[in-house]
Structure 1
């Protein structure tokens, strides 16, 4: 199909005010049970965060067993981008540079460990997020991270990101 034929079809689905139209009415909506957990996202405001929780103290043991080989024994050394810092090599580690603690959790849960992505339980992902936040001085070691507390964490570099949604007058979350 040529691009000339696709453009009018796309225009029908996208309204002038920037909202998506209903669509052609094909198929049926999936139920919550039919959607795998990794196909849902944690939003900056906390929507989409799963049940569970963990602390940095618990996360330290998980980090040692599942993360240290790539990210260094303390999270500073690497060889893969260290989550703790900054240091002499990495100026923007995940724990200080990431804009939202909720999306840091989401990334950990979805992409780590590199040799077995999506294999962490929710509790492990919360504990690892807590460990990284603690090691970067963002939270205390005993603070529990969960769906209620994680959205309340204010990341140190949050204000240095541009929210393109806010500039357009609408935020998807």
Structure 2
């Protein structure tokens, strides 16, 4: 088979699988879509770090979060966080063991900011990202208080949430840590 035929065959196979063709490199691409605007990027740029960087302004307490939890979360996680169609969220503040591998918030999660981040990004499942910062702080505070990590009246804010010491912070095993020889 000639080199030209081999090249044409490769193009015929590559194009349907999304591989670049010579036409795409020459500027004759279909020009689909458009670059995102700064406000569109900002909507999705919601990274929250363990030290609190990225947390928005706002506040909430467990007392405020209980009613919101019953409204938005209980149908999947149970009225008391015991789990229903989704994972259990509330358990004793003791690290998981081989005999009790519970991954509830109080026993497993190493950083309180991760709770805020997860709720903010993915809850409720039918409308992820729909909760306000205040609502997310309220739910985070409720879950922390229900797990006996903070008090019911402790305000959760961008300043206080990163200071919450989770029971398993020092016991968490990072999956990306390389073993030293």
Same fold (TM over 0.5): yes
Q: Are the equivalent residues in 2 in contact too, given 1:82–1:90 (CA < 8 A)?
A: no
RMSD: 2.8
Q: Are the equivalent residues in 1 in contact too, given 2:83–2:89 (CA < 8 A)?
A: no
Distance 1:81 1:90, change over 3 A: farther
Which residue matches 2:66? 60
Deviation at 1:122, TM superposition (A): 0.5
Query: Is residue 128 from structure 1 mapped to residue 139 from structure 2 by the alignment?
Result: yes
Q: TM-score, normalised by structure 2?
A: 0.68
- Structure 2: gaps spanning 5 or more residues: 1-36, 93-99
Equivalent residues in 2 for 1:3-18 (5 A)?
Answer: none
Query: Is residue 157 from structure 1 mapped to residue 168 from structure 2 by the alignment?
Result: yes
Equivalent residues in 2 for 1:80-119 (5 A)?
Answer: 80-85=86-91, 91-119=102-130
Which residue matches 1:25? none
**CA-to-aligned-CA distance 1:75-118 (integer Å, 9 cap, x gap):** 124231011015xx971212331110011110011110111111
Larger displacement relative to structure 2 (38-47 or 57-66): 38-47
Q: Tell me, in whole angstroms, the C-alpha distance in 2 between the residues paired with 1:75 and 1:126.
A: 17
Q: Aligned with 1:109: secondary structure?
A: helix
